[in-house]
Amino acid sequence: MTHKANSHIHLKLHVLASGSKGNASIVECADTGEGFVIDCGICKRDFFARCEEVGFDTQRIRAFFVTHEHSDHTKGLGVVMRGLAKQGIRPLLLTHPSIVRASSKVDEVVSQKLCDYVELAPNRIYQLSNVYVHPFSTSHDAAASFGFRFMYGQDALGYITDTGIVLPEAHNALLGVRILALESNHDICMLNEGDYPYDLKRRVQSDRGHLSNEQAADELAALLHVGLEQVVAMHVSQNNNTYRLPAQMLQRKINEAGYTTQVCVAYQDRAVSVG
């Protein structure tokens, strides 16, 4: 049995980079061109070049969201904010106070007033123009960590990476989205047989680590519905995974359920857009 997807298309996702060397994504409102950046762990040159590559106008950036304080999600924040300031752009920064305290990169942006800072709290709805954002907690070894549900009109996009398990509140926040960005970090066999130190292997596989391909596939199976059009495998390890394996596992779950959801994989070194 196949299902026809809905036609309420307003949100786009541009993944500029995804992986342990740096992460940055933009949720774009197609009706207005406004963009909401999730994390900034890449250099200024790559950020602006990949925005141009996907056709996103950086003048339309309205806000930055920071999921957690680890450097692969924050190290480019200051230089990109300064680059935007030179263009007369002063976006909001929304993140949790614990993340500001834990990250010198985030604290620098706030203390130097490169942005207008808004304290983020889980399960509160934030309105930015006509876009509503619902942050939810993830399970990661960080001072605080979040995923997001973006809503515009009848459209919804879910974004979750850097989580060892999918918490019930995260699962509930991801229900009914049209686009799903879902961590699929590692292949369990590759991780166990690889050259990571034992403690790091344990960390990656722990409830506060990263989702495996199997965990991602199981979560996708629980989230499949008639309106889920696109799923993007995120934060794929270059050491303990391949770009082929997550796509295959996610596609298998979709085929078994008889849906037509499309699968793609986000890369470390090049941008991917869906929407």
- The position carrying tokens 């979040």 is 146
Reduce the DSSP state of residue 267 to 3 states and report it: coil
Residue 273 pairs with which residues in a beta bridge? Answer: 14
Query: What percent of the chain is predicted at pLDDT more than 70?
Result: 97
Instruction: With respect to residue 4, please indicate whether it lies within any of the assigned structural domains.
Output: no
Instruction: With respect to residue 147, please indicate whether it lies within any of the assigned structural domains.
Output: yes
> How much is the pTM?
0.95
pLDDT of the residue at 4: 41
The closest alpha carbon to 207, from 136, 139, 142, 137, belongs to: 139
pLDDT of the residue at 232: 98
pLDDT tens for residues 3-36?
Answer: 344 456 799 999 999 999 999 999 999 999 999 9
pLDDT of the residue at 209: 94
Instruction: With respect to residue 95, please indicate whether it lies within any of the assigned structural domains.
Output: yes
pLDDT tens for residues 52-96?
Answer: 999 999 999 999 999 999 999 999 999 999 999 999 999 999 999
Sequence-ordered list of residues with C-beta below 8 angstroms from that of 113, at least 6 positions apart, any chain: none
pLDDT tens for residues 125-176?
Answer: 999 999 999 999 999 999 999 999 999 999 999 999 999 999 999 999 999 9
> Which CATH number characterizes residue 101's domain?
3.60.15.10
pLDDT of the residue at 6: 45
Strands (E), the chain: 11-17, 24-29, 35-38, 61-65, 92-95, 116-119, 126-128, 131-137, 146-152, 155-160, 179-183, 230-234, 262-265, 272-274
Structurally, the chain folds into a number of domains equal to: 1
User: Domain range holding 236?
Assistant: 11-274
Instruction: With respect to residue 133, please indicate whether it lies within any of the assigned structural domains.
Output: yes
pLDDT of the residue at 8: 63
pLDDT tens for residues 91-107?
Answer: 999 999 999 999 999 99
Instruction: With respect to residue 5, please indicate whether it lies within any of the assigned structural domains.
Output: no
pLDDT tens for residues 227-246?
Answer: 999 999 999 999 999 999 99
Instruction: With respect to residue 3, please indicate whether it lies within any of the assigned structural domains.
Output: no
Mean pLDDT lowest among 7-11, 114-118, 221-225: 7-11
